[in-house]
Structure 1
């Protein structure tokens, strides 16, 4: 199996008062030329946001920004007129296109845990768009759940030839990872899994080209990026 394993301890670790974040790829003040993304996948930030804190209004353009809330509720507001909460088990996809301003604030007292994911689009300067769904894989374990993709069958439409899927896998259960594209990137959110000879724990990830079976060594949640071999932008 031709694979690249990205261990959790090699992620960037940023702590700035109200925010603690682990960066899978170079982001902000943390830069490592060995970790610049995989195919069109540019950012996975594993964020812990303190109560009554968050990201104030700031701009983005030409990026597909996917948010996965794992615990708590984050309140979103943007220049497209969207305003509301995203709670654990919900997913938000903001296609920034020509440009959008937004804020993400934890208005509660308890810490919020979320993943912030950026995917480079294959269409530049498109009209900004906002999508949000509820899809909690804990409610239906041991199967893949499509979160977003380029086709009409996807719950949310992403401007890239890529699919994002997630699963909660119970201990000793195995799921097949069969790519529709050319590059797989699996990030372990919690628990531990076995892919061929590789054991992956929470925060670890693996990039590979082959179809494989993934077995849960403990109850685990994973997110799978089915990506083009090369960025199409």
Structure 2
């Protein structure tokens, strides 16, 4: 099996007063030309946001922006008129299109842990839109949940020929990875897994083009990106 392993320790680490963030790919003040994204996947930021802090109002355009809340609750407000809360177990998709301003604030008294994911769209300057769904894979383990994609089977529609899938696999269980596009990229949130001869720990990721099987060495949570040819 030909594969590229992206180890957790190779991620960028930015730690400021209110934010502890690990960047899988170059982002903000952290830059590494070896890690600029994979196919249309541009950003995976693993953020821990302190209580009563967060990202103030800022702008994006022409990017599909996914937020996966793992612990705590983040409060969202945007220029499209959306305002509300995203608790752990829920996902947000903001298709920025021609442009949108938003803020993501932790208004609680405990830290928030979330993943922020950016994917390049295949349509530029479309009308912005907002989607939010509940899908906690811990409630239905040992199966893939299609969070976002171009097809009706996805919980949220994304402007790209890519699918974002999430799963919790219990120790001793296995799940197949059979791509529909050109490249698999599996990011391990927690736990430990084995794919062919490769063993991954929390924060690691693996890119490969073959069909494979993921075996859980302990209870594990992951995201699988089924990506088109760049």
1:9 deviates by 0.2
Equivalent residues in 2 for 1:83-232, closer than 5 Å: 83-230=83-230
Which residue is equivalent to 1:14?
Answer: 14
CA drift of 1:118 comes to 0.1
Q: What CA distance in whole angstroms lies between the structure 2 residues aligned with 1:49 and 1:161?
A: 31
SS at the partner of 2:9? helix
Shift, 1:153, TM fit: 2.0
Q: Does 1:43 align with 2:43?
A: yes
- Aligned residue pair count: 230
Q: Could you give the per-residue CA deviations for residues 58-111 of structure 1, whole angstroms, max 9, x where no partner exists?
A: 000000000000000000000000000000000000000000000000000100
Per-residue deviation at 1:151? 1.2
Task: Give the corresponding residue for 1:75.
Answer: 75
Instruction: Give the whole-Å Cα distance in 1 for the aligned partners of 2:119 and 2:57.
Output: 21
**Residues of 1 paired with 2:154 and 2:204: CA distance?**
26
State the shift of 1:2 in Å: 1.1
Give the secondary structure class of the aligned counterpart of 2:138. Answer: helix
The runs of 5 or more residues in structure 1 that have no matched partner are none
Give the whole-Å Cα distance in 2 for the aligned partners of 1:57 and 1:171. 41
Deviations 1:190-217 (CA, angstroms, capped at 9, x unpaired): 0000000100000000000000000000
TM-fit CA distance, 1:152: 1.8
What is residue 55 of structure 1 aligned with on the other side?
55
What TM-score comes out, normalization by structure 1 length?
A: 0.98
1:9 aligned counterpart, secondary structure: helix
Please give the root-mean-square deviation of Cα atoms over the aligned residues, in Å. 0.4
Give the Cα separation in 1 of the matches to 2:10 and 2:155. Answer: 33
Provide runs of 4+ in structure 1 moved above 6 Å: none
Deviation at 1:189, TM superposition (A): 0.2
- SS at 2:226 equivalent: strand
Query: C-alpha distance in 2, partners of 1:47/1:33?
Result: 22
Q: Distance in 2 between the 1:175 and 1:78 partners?
A: 37
Report the alpha carbon displacement of residue 226 of structure 1 after superposing the two structures with TM: 0.1
